[in-house]
Amino acid sequence: MIELSGRSAVVTGGSRGIGRAIVLRLAAQGADVAFSYRGNADAAAETAAAVESLGRRGLAVQGDVSQPEAADALIKAALDAFGKVDILVNNAGITRDDLIMRMSIEDWRSVLETNLFGAFYAIKAVTRPMLRAKSGRVINITSVSGQAGQMGQANYSSAKAGLIGLTKATARELASRGITCNAVAPGFVDTELTRDLSEALKEQIRERTPLGRFGTTEEIANAVAFLASDEAAFITGQVLAVDGGLVMM
């Protein structure tokens, strides 16, 4: 069984969807969890209360991860509350889909700044305390779009592909101090975003996925919990696809 008792974790974008499932899974395995949220205070409060109901400490911190000072404030809040940060999960992300010829510069920039720059800022903020502790787990949530590309998602695919490069560079830089960095690449997952897709498109996705279905947020969280645990101590710089076989590298 994955055991995270005595650990403290930070999850960006943790109030809803995949992020919320990750927060609750880490808490269920024994970790105290701080998480960021951008605007939905009610969802954040509910998630923090759910962590507390599991017998762990939960801390919701409002902030926009595309701003470096927000990452610094999030890590500082976790250090003040828990005394350390053992696990960082970079989950926060947005989409602004459009074809390249129609995509605005603002939509290109905002997706890169949130999905890629935000992860860099959080890693930068947590590196020093993890180096002092000579241990740590960093897990970045990338996507099948970053592995294979996706029409209408030049910004998102670029950000998620960049996140894979950031994962590998971080893994090399920090390995000598006992810190691992890996990525999880979800396929199509049943969330608020995918529920808005047309039934015809959903069926196309199922047909393209060898396992024939959408994933669940809990299945993504399971992979994150494994990579955050001692069982994954000799794994670093890897991308774990949790996509029902959609992208086979």
For residue 42, give Cα distances in angstroms to 18, 47, 92, 155, 203: 17, 9, 17, 29, 33
pLDDT above 90 coverage of the chain, percent:
88
Binning pLDDT at 50, 70 and 90, where does residue 133 land?
very high
Q: Scan for tokens 């995918």, then name that residue.
A: 194
152 vs 87, more confident = 87
Indicate whether 200 pLDDT > 70. yes
pTM for this structure? 0.94
Output the pLDDT for position 186: 95
Q: Looking at 124-128, 151-155, 200-204, which range is the least confident one?
A: 200-204
Query: Stretch 210-234: mean pLDDT, rounded?
Result: 96
Choosing from 35, 82, 156, 226, the catalytic residue is 156
> Burial, 173: exposed, middle or buried (Cβ in 10 Å; 0-12, 13-18, 19+)?
middle
Both tokens of 220, joined, read 């993504």
pLDDT in tens, 105-121: 999 999 999 999 999 99
Both tokens of 27, joined, read 């808490």
Q: Give the orientation angle of helix 17-28 with respect to helix 217-228, to 10 degrees.
A: 50
| Cα 112 from Cα 97, distance rounded (Å) | 12
Which residue in 95, 94, 91, 83 sits closest to 59, CA to CA? 83
Query: Stretch 81-96: mean pLDDT, rounded?
Result: 96
Indicate whether 249 pLDDT > 70. no
Both tokens of 134, joined, read 């000579």
Q: Looking at 121-135, 177-191, 199-213, which range is the least confident one?
A: 199-213
Of the spans 4-13, 185-194, 239-248, which averages the highest pLDDT? 4-13
Mean pLDDT for all residues in the chain: 95
197 vs 211, more confident = 211
> Regarding beta strands 32-37 and 58-62, do their DSSP bridges make them parallel or antiparallel, or are they unpaired?
parallel
Query: Stretch 12-41: mean pLDDT, rounded?
Result: 96
pLDDT in tens, 142-189: 999 889 888 889 999 999 999 999 999 999 999 999 999 999 999 989
Active site residue 121: no
**Can you spell out the DSSP letters for 33-86?**
EEEEESS-HHHHHHHHHHHHHTTS-EEEEE--TTSHHHHHHHHHHHHHHHS---
